Structure 1
Amino acid sequence: MDKQDIIKQLKESKHSKVKVAITDIDGVLRGKLMHTDKLISALESGFGFCSVVFGWDMGDFAYDSTELVGWHTGYGDFDAQLDINTFRTIPWEDDTPFLLGDFSNKTDGDIPVCPRSLLKRVIAEAEKMGYNPMFSQEFEWFNFRETSHSVSEKNFQSLQALTPGMFGYSILRMSENSDFFNALFEHLKSFGVPLEGLHTETGPGVTEAAIQYSGILEAADRATLFKSATKEIAYKHGIMASFMAKQTSKLPGCSGHIHQSLWDKDNKNNLFYDEAASDHMSDIMRSYIAGQLYCLPYILPMFAPTINSYKRLVEGAWAPTTLTWGHDNRTTALRVLAASSKATRIEHRVVGSDVNPYLAMAAALASGLYGIKHGLKLDIPPTSGNGYKNLSHGVLPANLFEASNKMKDSDIANTLFGDTFVNHFTTTRAWEWRQFSKEVTDWETKRYFEII
């Protein structure tokens, strides 16, 4: 639909309000209900949205040292623009209309720290090079029979999992909770977030969903909306969905793998596929992989943005720790699938479920394009067997502090995303590390309380 079609539908709607949302630096949807008349005006001229959404963390505590936004700026409004291509209705909220937006300034251009705007800038670069990026994301997450009140009362301890035991790909567990899973599948489809598949994963109450692939901006929108929608639909069924990367040291973590390929402008030819090559990998694909591996250590916080992210990236837990790639190898950072012209793609396995999809996809695409632009050769051979043991090309930074410092001091990160974004983003990650460092953990209490 074009803008006039949407305006007509809004005027004829039984609803007098529309839900609008933007995404903050952590990938959290921040939004409001807006009167239809105000929304129609906003479609034409934009609207003000408080800049504090880039000046505080996910717990609404104000950062103490960011330059673009802070007490020194007075927390005025940024100019937000709604994207009519994101228009949909929310089926579990009586088909309330919904729109996504991002931040831009008609005079000065995009706000550099806006995740969706950053992705759009990287997409424009790809299109200028003649490429149409096609992406999709898949998520694993834990489900609990809890409410926001009950988890708080329990201090997030001894929570009741949706199902007990380890039962991946279980038909029984899906059937046991069919009302929730059927609602999830159907509501997401109606919400414009169609799933390719949905199944239980290893771990109590763990589920995995693969979102259907699309153009990269739509893919990032779908991924972002998927996480929020899944939580909302779960609430309706007395369930809490958690996308923490690592719930417990006793179980594997939760991934957010990104699948990616480059197509021609007409979207007819997969440019990663080469029928004549013995491994069916084109030179473009090889340079793209080389770029991703080369840039990965310097932009890791965009794939692993939280303290908890790095608890998932440990040996033998289905998440990569080394700078490796391989053919259909789930122990490497990049898994190459090159079976046919339609399906040839790269699966980025570093990405966790706690990620901001806009930043992760921007990082994946920008680093791949870096390899193509600089004619990088894929000199690293594919890893056969255990990628955890292949240390010959380096390992990933071990925690958020190390990864953020590496990104902050990186010419590569600044080249890919600009100084303003890199400075702001790494400052927010340093803040996150400082908040964690002040806390006394359960591990410390158990370790030192009596014996030391």
Structure 2
Amino acid sequence: MPGENLVGVTPTSIAPKSIADLEALLKDDIKVKVAGIDVDGVLRGKYMSKEKFLSAASSDGFGFCSVIFGWDMHDAVYSRELLISNRANGYRDLIASIDLATYRRIPWEGNVPFFLVSFYDSETKEAICADPRGVLRAVVSRAQQKGWRCLAGCEYEYFQFKETPESLAQKNFSNIQPLTPGMHGYSLLRTQINSDYFNDIFDESLKFEVPLEGHHTETGPGVYETALAYTDALRMADNAILFKFLAKSIGMKRGVVPSFMAKPWGNLPGCSGHIHVSLRDSNGKSLFAVSEAELKTGRESAQYSDTKFVSQECEWFLAGVLAGLPDIMPTLVPTINGYKRLVGGEAFWAPNAVTYGYDSRAASVRIIAPPSVPPAATRLEVRVPGADMNPYFAISAIFALGMRGIEKKLSLPGPPVSQLTLEDKKAGKVKMLPTSLEAATARMMAAESIAREDAVFGPAFVEHFGGTREHEVKLWNEAVTNWEVERYLELA
């Protein structure tokens, strides 16, 4: 447990293999930075003296206040008491277990050493049900028991604002200024403006052991899109959460606020957090790829002609994701605002139905397979999540549902969809996804929810995470917005 490279983590290139290695790496340091992740995907951490850190790394970890699982992203205690941290247990300490595999240095912060932690119950020594890293590690471990390796990639779209935390507060978050004007997707000109900031994000990511595959402008005023390099699922989630930290840190130094909010502007496309996934067997072969013979002739067992270029296991995996998608929506779209991104549906390439398509960006799950890519690159892209997702929970949900589909040999719900029409929706030809956090949370917490199955998330996680989403809904229902005042104050 503590002081070890944990199961399912691809180490950074400089990670120590032992405590002796660790001591040598830190010989010239006086402090270390550590952080864990809360249910909203917010990094919670602190500096530790080197002596305290080494003591914790060599033993059972160190105490960390459990309140980070008892309050929301703005440090407000949840509306109702939840199991992990509450008044009854005195907001007791959890054990923070240092993961040596996550060692890197923060280049923009004086090269201070940095490690991620996972959280364990101080009495049972078991991973707590809502620790994001623990949840994903459990899913990855189940795959490893079957001889499979979970691989993933994340793509983030995010707005940039020419603001500071102070200016946002002074403006009451109104009339905020985008970094650049206009719609300029894939622009080579817009990258010349604020080029130091744009390039810093890429260059510092590499130094921070968060490798990128692509970095460009996306359509929208001041919008960037960054694709993180494909890797093992738990390392991918770590990289995704740390990329946000990096972008926000670099931004603050340059008077820029990057926002991963799903829908900052009502009349513009929102910000996605697309997730690519695949499985490999113990020999490193893609479990989703068809054989060379099948590639030439087509797979006879394919349920639909458009899926003949993926394996039977991939088809079952896809069917599992589609079957459980409506029941795990809060793990993909965890905020009130996130569902506003989905309202526009296909118009903004934000799918809101249980659909899949062969290389289709209009579908909720896009199949990427030959002839578009070589067989070894066969994968699925889940396009429902927004940039505000918690990547640990989102990736966990996709793999848990997919492996459930393989185990049950589930069938696809219908043929692929390249374009979903209003008539299709009205005729009930496709199943629609929940359109609000309130509806999505109710569905996830229902007694018959697939999310409650032990092979997916289990009841303890659903009760805790669902309770945090109910809190979010309660705050929204109590809020009076500018839209309401402008609409009703004079004429109602």
Q: Give the structure-1-normalised TM-score.
A: 0.97
Once the two structures are superposed, the pairs formed by residues 176-325 of structure 1 within 5 Å of their partners are 176-267=193-284, 269-275=285-291, 276=294, 278=298, 279-314=308-343, 315=345, 316-325=347-356
In structure 2, C-alpha distance between the alignment counterparts of 1:86 and 1:9, rounded to whole Å: 13
Aligned Cα RMSD in Å? 1.3
Per-residue deviation, residues 110-150 of structure 1 (Å, max 9, x unmatched): 11111110100011111112210110101000101110000
- Shift of residue 390 of structure 1? 4.1
Matching residue within 297, 302, 326 for 2:357: 326
Matching residue within 418, 428, 439 for 2:479: 439
Amino acid at match of 1:42: A
Q: 2:302 is matched with which residue?
A: none
Q: 1:152 is matched with which residue?
A: 169
In structure 1, C-alpha distance between the alignment counterparts of 2:257 and 2:191, rounded to whole Å: 16
Verify: 1:58 aligned to 2:73, yes or no: yes
Amino acid at match of 1:144: F
Q: Contact conserved, 1:322 with 1:387, CA < 8 A, in 2?
A: no
In structure 2, C-alpha distance between the alignment counterparts of 1:251 and 1:35, rounded to whole Å: 46
In structure 2, C-alpha distance between the alignment counterparts of 1:264 and 1:328, rounded to whole Å: 24
Q: 1:118 is matched with which residue?
A: 135
Q: 2:3 is matched with which residue?
A: none
In structure 2, C-alpha distance between the alignment counterparts of 1:296 and 1:386, rounded to whole Å: 17
Q: Contact conserved, 1:321 with 1:388, CA < 8 A, in 2?
A: no
Q: 2:436 is matched with which residue?
A: 399
Q: 2:117 is matched with which residue?
A: 101
Per-residue deviation, residues 170-222 of structure 1 (Å, max 9, x unmatched): 11111112100111101000101111000111110110000000011100100
Amino acid at match of 1:353: A
In structure 2, C-alpha distance between the alignment counterparts of 1:370 and 1:293, rounded to whole Å: 11
Per-residue deviation, residues 231-265 of structure 1 (Å, max 9, x unmatched): 00111111111110000111010000000000112
Per-residue deviation, residues 333-358 of structure 1 (Å, max 9, x unmatched): 00010022232110000011001111
User: 1:389–1:54: structure 2 CA closer, same or farther, 3 Å change rule?
Assistant: farther
Once the two structures are superposed, the pairs formed by residues 347-358 of structure 1 within 5 Å of their partners are 347-358=381-392
Amino acid at match of 2:418: S
Among all aligned residue pairs of Structure 1 and Structure 2, give the percentage whose two residues are the same amino acid.
45
- Shift of residue 7 of structure 1? 2.0
Q: Contact conserved, 2:362 with 2:418, CA < 8 A, in 1?
A: no
Q: Contact conserved, 2:66 with 2:84, CA < 8 A, in 1?
A: no
SS of the residue 2:34 aligns to: strand
- Shift of residue 393 of structure 1? 2.6
Q: Give the structure-2-normalised TM-score.
A: 0.89
Matching residue within 45, 48, 54 for 1:40: 54
SS of the residue 1:71 aligns to: coil
Per-residue deviation, residues 386-432 of structure 1 (Å, max 9, x unmatched): 37764313000010000001000144111111211110000110010
In structure 2, C-alpha distance between the alignment counterparts of 1:183 and 1:61, rounded to whole Å: 34
- Shift of residue 449 of structure 1? 1.6
In structure 2, C-alpha distance between the alignment counterparts of 1:362 and 1:379, rounded to whole Å: 22
Q: 397-406 or 440-449: which moved more? A: 440-449
Q: 1:338 is matched with which residue?
A: 369
Verify: 1:429 aligned to 2:480, yes or no: no
In structure 1, C-alpha distance between the alignment counterparts of 2:423 and 2:172, rounded to whole Å: 38
Q: 1:369 is matched with which residue?
A: 403
Q: 292-301 or 372-381: which moved more? A: 372-381
- Shift of residue 65 of structure 1? 2.6
Q: Contact conserved, 1:331 with 1:387, CA < 8 A, in 2?
A: no
SS of the residue 1:197 aligns to: strand
- Shift of residue 73 of structure 1? 1.2
SS of the residue 2:157 aligns to: strand
Q: 2:8 is matched with which residue?
A: none
Q: Contact conserved, 2:96 with 2:119, CA < 8 A, in 1?
A: yes
SS of the residue 2:348 aligns to: coil
SS of the residue 1:73 aligns to: coil
User: 1:22–1:389: structure 2 CA closer, same or farther, 3 Å change rule?
Assistant: farther
Q: 1:18 is matched with which residue?
A: 32
Q: Contact conserved, 2:363 with 2:418, CA < 8 A, in 1?
A: no
Structure 2 residue ranges without an equivalent (≥5): 1-15, 299-307
In structure 2, C-alpha distance between the alignment counterparts of 1:373 and 1:445, rounded to whole Å: 52
Q: 1:412 is matched with which residue?
A: 450
In structure 1, C-alpha distance between the alignment counterparts of 2:398 and 2:421, rounded to whole Å: 20
Amino acid at match of 2:193: E
Q: Contact conserved, 1:324 with 1:332, CA < 8 A, in 2?
A: yes
User: 1:250–1:238: structure 2 CA closer, same or farther, 3 Å change rule?
Assistant: same
Structure 1 residue ranges without an equivalent (≥5): none
In structure 1, C-alpha distance between the alignment counterparts of 2:156 and 2:216, rounded to whole Å: 11
- Shift of residue 295 of structure 1? 0.4
Q: 2:98 is matched with which residue?
A: 82
- Shift of residue 379 of structure 1? 4.0
